[in-house]
Amino acid sequence: MNDDILKVLYSKDDIDAITSRLAEQINRDYAGKNPLVICILKGAIMFMTDLVRKIDDYVEIDFMDVSSYGDETESSGEVKVLKDLDTSVAGRDLLIVEDIVDTGRTLSYLIKMFQTRNAASIKICTLMDKPERRIKTVKADYVGTQVPNEFVVGYGLDYAEKYRNLPYIGVLKPAVYQE
Ligand code: PRP
Ligand code: MN
Ligand code: MG
């Protein structure tokens, strides 16, 4: 295990089981709908690629890069669009894929934006949810798991751009961000 990790919250196998369960629900709800799956970079990259491989019907994939954290552990409250979609969302059924919903700022911003762009429907699939931290009202339609208010990294999630490539999700040792 990486020296900066206090404990593993979700192993590779745990993540695989969660992803399978979510994909089953999505398969039921989106059969024949050709949704546009929107991966919110960078955190959702691992989750999105694993999830779509478990979706039976054909889906389209696009990427949006937004950032609200900078290198801090606390959200700045400001959402920046670093890369927009290539695809038009007008009339499309959108499935936004996130790694974690924390304050809800990122998703509340994106939902408003996609509504303005006249999406036909907007649903959210998140691997993790931290409802304790919510500032903006956001409710995900598909939630992998609720996590306690601890700093989680790995499987796409970073602290200061590190740890994204860990194959598991772990709790970061507080000493790492208190330095
Ligand atoms: C993180 C995470 C979510 C968002 C959740 O992304 O991946 O996208 O914050 O926080 P919120 O609910 O408080 O908005 P971040 O902005 O760190 O960018 P990254 O995905 O590139 O790491
Ligand atoms: Mn993110
Ligand atoms: Mg981040």
Q: What's the N-to-C CA distance of the chain in angstroms?
A: 21
| Ligand 1 atom index nearest CA of 75 | 13
Sheet-wide strand order for 93-101: 80-83, 60-67, 36-41, 93-101, 121-129, 142-146
**Which tens digits make up the pLDDT trace of 6-33?**
999 999 999 999 999 999 999 999 999 9
Proximal ligand: closest to the CA of 74: 1
CB of residue 99 inside a 6 A radius of ligand 1: yes
**Which tens digits make up the pLDDT trace of 70-118?**
555 566 667 889 999 999 999 999 999 999 999 999 999 999 999 999 9
In this prediction, does ipTM exceed 0.85?
A: yes
Kindly list the domain boundaries of the chain, sorted by start residue.
12-150
CB of residue 103 inside a 6 A radius of ligand 1: yes
Report the predicted TM-score, pTM, of the whole model to 2 decimal places: 0.95
Query: Which CATH code for domain 12-150?
Result: 3.40.50.2020
